[in-house]
Chains A and B, each alone.
Chain A
Amino acid sequence: MEISEKNQKVLKNRKILTLVVSLSLLVVVLFGLRLLSDQYRFKVYKKSRVAMDTLVTLTVVAESPRAADDAMEAGMAEVDYLDHLLSIFNENSEVTLINRNAGIKPVKVSMDTFNVIKRSIEVAGDSDGAFDPSIGPLSTLWDFIKAVKPSGNVIHKKLHLINYKHIAMDERQMTVMLTKKGMSLDLGGIAKGYVADRVVAVLQSKGINSGIAAMAGDIKTFGSKPHTHKLHPNGWKVGIRDPRGEPESLKGVLNLQNMAISTAGDYERFFIENGVRYHHILDPETGYPAREFQSVTIVNPEGVLADGLDTAIFVLGKDKGLALIRRMNLRAYIVFSDGSTYITDNLKEFFEPVRNTKDTKDTKKD
């Protein structure tokens, strides 16, 4: 009797165990099916618009066109909002207001404006002023679309006004003041990276788990790409432009997740006069375009840092620039002025060099 009771108990336990196991299996299978169906339901949507004096392209992975559109509209609205605060071409922007009150009084600003300026001063400090947000008096002398090169004398007179240490910030009052008359901010070298960060935050707040915010070449990726090839697990593919090639020819492709990328290049805005290339990445110390690179690409979790530091390193040049890369352990891809390239070890696993079809044909001929 006792034995049989024991047996029954064991049997009962076994039944329960079987039930638990099969239930959990069912859960696993259902979950798997859900994942699979998600993969088919979720699609990649894209939208482009001219904003911030550049082409803004948003990419989102969403379960319906409507969800995608809602999020992308909110993202574009954030771009317009921030441009309205930060642009020096907008007469009513907060940055313009700060510039107009240089040497006069502190200006109360919104949190975003305060944050960008604060971060830009950090980058200026890290690079010993190679990147300087107070470059306004110099950058407004040049016009790279109309090919205007200011005279050496005019440039020289403005250089003493460029110094990020003369930007006074009051965190409690949320005010910014340029302490010298004639100073002015130009956040063009960092604002787009900051905007990319903010737009990603807005897309995420709209329930989007993966996508890309691209302010032209200042790009922030988040989450993973659906349906990617086994060899390129889950990353978004971001190309690095060939500085001397056609607009669509690339030096390489990076496979990025939750990373921002920015490139400072001497081919973005430039003119050529008497065989010399004059481009928009100006050295605050000399007043002239920096000469040692064709492009500097920085990959960083934060867009604001990637954007600010690519300019900083471009201006610092080969020796000091590479030293800063090492000191901050940055991920970088560099094209030197002679066309040779350099990639940091910590970026290699994400990088694949590209051969364009044209090159392939040439190789076959040989």
Chain B
Amino acid sequence: MLFIGRLVPKGSEVTIEVNNELLYKFPIDKDRSVKISHMEIEIKDGKVRVADADCPNKLCVKQGWIDRGAIICLPNRVVISVVNPYEKHDRDDEVDAISG
């Protein structure tokens, strides 16, 4: 039995990419909210979420607060990631990819 508490390490920076272009980079420990086209993004207490979006099914909003990994909106090509600039990808307690 394998225990995976966390798939990816906690990050310290929030990056917001639209159309594969980096739009914003914020430290995650400073509260703020930012409006981009189609959605409103909120950073609070070391976490980030999509507070509101103008799409029909709002999967990004339903994902809620994250402090690691990413929120991805494919229709609008928005990727909000919580990254660690010094992150290493060779840790043993992480998975390298997810199928499904």
Contact = CB atoms under 8 A, between A and B. Distances in A.
Contacts, number: 121
Given A49-B20, A353-B1, A55 B72 contact: yes
9 closest cross-chain pairs (CB), A and B? A241-B100, A44-B89, A263-B100, A357-B5, A352-B2, A239-B95, A239-B98, A263-B99, A217-B99
Contacts of A297: 99-100
Contact of B97 (A51, A59, A145, A265): A59
A146 interface: yes
Contacts of B92: 227-229, 232
A43 B90 CA distance: 8
Interface of B: 1-7, 19-20, 55-57, 63, 69-70, 72, 74-75, 77, 79, 81, 88-90, 92, 94-100
A225 B100 contact: no
B59 to A, nearest CB: 9
Nearest to B55: A145
A263 B98 CA distance: 10
B interface, over-half SS: loop
Contacts of A236: 96-97
B99 A146 contact: no
A186 B99 CA distance: 22
A250 B95 contact: yes
A271 interface: yes
A237 B74 contact: no
Contacts of A252: 2
B100 A50 contact: no
A336 interface: no
B100 A217 contact: yes
Interface of A: 43-46, 48-51, 53-55, 57, 59, 145-147, 212, 214, 217-219, 221, 225-229, 232, 236-241, 243, 247-248, 250, 252-253, 261-263, 265, 267-268, 271, 295, 297, 352-357, 360
Nearest to B56: A146
A241 B98 CA distance: 7
Given A55-B72, A354-B4, A226 B96 contact: no
A45 B63 CA distance: 27
A357 B6 CA distance: 8
B9 to A, nearest CB: 13
A355 B97 contact: no
A154 B20 CA distance: 38
B57 to A, nearest CB: 7
B100 A243 contact: yes
Give the most central of A228, A248, A352, A357: most B CB within 10 Å: A248
